Amino acid sequence: MNNKPDLELALIQTTLAWHDPAANREHFQTLLEQARGADLVILPEMFTTGFSMESAELAEPEDGPSSVWLREQAQRIGAVICGSLIIQAADGSYRNRLLWARPDGSFAYYDKRHLFRMASEHKHYSAGDQRVVFDLKGWRVRPLICYDLRFPVWSRDAGGTDLLLYTANWPGARRQHWNRLLPARAIENLCYVAAVNRVGEDGKGHGYTGDSQVLDFQGEALLTAGEGDGVFRTRLSHDALSTYRECFPAHLDADAFTFD
């Protein structure tokens, strides 16, 4: 019998100040106040800088000001908060790293696996090699970052993941791809999908049209933010997910994959 509680999500879709971590932290602090009561708050990719290839100039250490700030905010509003930023890892490499900050002050992370070649991200950052799953109130949450969306094998965790989470700076020029690939990930994995994008224009003149959304296990939209700026909320039912998987257990016939 399923006894996992519902999960309250808050997605923050907004503009980002280009290369200005302090300004972005101040902006998000106001928006986070509106997210109180959520279990999980999701921020965009590189939420402190915008999607930048200036890794050496912008990287913060693992215990830098944005990491400390994120943990403080999680404690302040009593929710898990996640989003990616530019980190210089202990080994000296630069990472597009999603931080998962918990209210108790602890945190975990996921390093972006697929680096966006068309922007030369692979020349400025090191790719992650670990698939991670975070537990939140008994829910299994898989974090992924932007370009990872295009690679279904990396997203695959048939029957194990309850919620696939994508944080992104996905440009408006490829808006159609975003809106088609997200439902596919939900349907093929029989799980919820939550995806957060940004809006506005970055310092390179690239425009972003948002389309942050939450989808159920059949790819149906539970929440769509359109091009809005602000905090968008919805609630997920694990009972509904379990019932669907019992009635349509396609995950039992899925192929197994291993990674080097």
Using one digit for the tens of pLDDT, what is the confidence trace for 197-224?
Answer: 999 999 999 999 999 999 999 999 999 9
Q: Give tens-digit pLDDT for 66-98.
A: 999 999 999 999 999 999 999 999 999 999 999
Q: pLDDT class for 157, splitting at 50, 70, 90?
A: confident
Instruction: Identify the active-site residue in 45, 60, 121, 191.
Output: 45
Q: pLDDT class for 232, splitting at 50, 70, 90?
A: very high
Mean pLDDT over 165-177 rounds to: 98
Q: H-helix or E-strand containing 245?
A: helix 238-247
- pLDDT for 253 beyond 90: no
Instruction: Identify the active-site residue in 60, 82, 121, 146.
Output: 146
Catalytic residue flag (residue 204): no
Measure the CA–CA gap between 126 and 260, rounded to whole angstroms.
Answer: 16
- pLDDT for 11 beyond 70: yes
pTM of the predicted structure, to 2 decimals: 0.96
Instruction: Identify the active-site residue in 82, 112, 121, 191.
Output: 112
Catalytic residue flag (residue 146): yes
- Contact status, residue 191 vs residue 162, Cβ threshold 8 Å: yes
The domain locations on the chain are: 7-253
Q: Give tens-digit pLDDT for 53-66.
A: 999 999 999 999 99
Of the CATH numbers 3.40.190.10, 3.60.110.10, 3.40.630.30, 3.40.50.300, which one belongs to the domain with range 7-253? 3.60.110.10
pLDDT of residue 255: 83
Beta strand residue intervals within the chain, DSSP E: 7-13, 40-42, 60-61, 80-88, 94-101, 107-111, 134-136, 139-145, 163-167, 192-196, 199-201, 207-209, 213-215, 221-224, 230-236
Q: pLDDT class for 36, splitting at 50, 70, 90?
A: very high
**Burial of 130 (C-beta count, 10 Å sphere; 0-12/13-18/19+):** exposed
Nearest-CA neighbor of 126 among 167, 162, 95?
Answer: 95
Q: Give tens-digit pLDDT for 98-108.
A: 999 999 999 99
- Contact status, residue 146 vs residue 198, Cβ threshold 8 Å: no
